[in-house]
Structure 1
């Protein structure tokens, strides 16, 4: 499947909300929940606007992963950009019916190429120890495992093991 990344904009809100709702249970199997409020359209629109504001301020860049027909198949983001040292953190999620097709791998490769144009030269990533697919995607794209740490999940209160990665561009 051919994919491309498209920078998030205002007109994406409804389709992105549907994508998030349709994949909620799937995403929450490997990442902490965003909470019930996130899945009400009014709250989602407010958060969407906040993301667009961050993007306008060059604090974060948010991209939708789309297939060749323009449908959303996932998301990939550069967040917490530090312009003093050119570092950022990456996060991504692929919709359930689009997994195991190499989409995350392709999207991360596209984002790494785009990051250089945004003056980002160091990308950090964090994933849970049970998210083997994400670990493989990061390693295939040149990310190096930096550390493993057990932390309390703020939403669930449960302890989880996180694996931290980094890549220099």
Structure 2
């Protein structure tokens, strides 16, 4: 498993990955805009992420499995070098869950955050997403606060836990 910076050449495989896992993702998080699931939509998405990366506000990475397939995505967003903090987000495709890939990907992105001089990582996990909570705590994140009605997924309010890690 490796992390690789998102690139324009990823549009076709990324669209396939996102389309295959759309129902899985939407059972856990808010759905993407309908236009996202098209050649034009995914290209626009990649351009937005690469623009943010160029401004050093984001690190958009793909999680690539040992067969060269996209297994997931992991990003550092809202990178603030003045405060030395960033937000961590990740998602794995359904068939890749439960294999330790997320643990390894988070471990690797922590190293990349260090290289960017980020000292604090912040992540959120639903109170019901035990797997994500385990990934974060395994990698040294600490539960700092709980939020009621943090987001709405499939018409239901969900509560989330904020995790932080000082690196």
Shorter chain as denominator, the TM-score bin is over 0.9
Are 1:108 and 2:111 counterparts? no
Partner of 1:167: 165
Partner of 2:143: 145
Which residues in structure 2 correspond to 1:20-99 (within 5 Å)?
Answer: 20-99=18-97
- Partners of 2:163 and 2:25 lie apart in 1 by 20
Deviation, 1:159, is 2.2
Aligned pair count reads 167
Structure 1 alignment gaps of length 5 or more: none
Contact 1:60 1:80 in 2 (8 A): yes
Contact 2:146 2:159 in 1 (8 A): yes
Root-mean-square deviation (CA, aligned residues, Å) is 1.5
1:150/1:134 CA distance change after superposition, 3 Å: same
1:31/1:155 CA distance change after superposition, 3 Å: closer
SS of 1:153's partner is strand
Which deviates more from structure 2 when the two are superposed, residues 34-43 or residues 149-158? 149-158
Partner of 1:11: 9
* TM-score between both structures, scaled by the size of structure 1: 0.93
1:132/1:155 CA distance change after superposition, 3 Å: closer
Which residues in structure 2 correspond to 1:118-137 (within 5 Å)?
Answer: 118-137=116-135
After superposition, what is the alpha-carbon deviation per residue over 1:47-88, rounded to whole angstroms, capped at 9, x for unaligned?
211111001110000110001232111110000011101100
Contact 1:30 1:130 in 2 (8 A): no
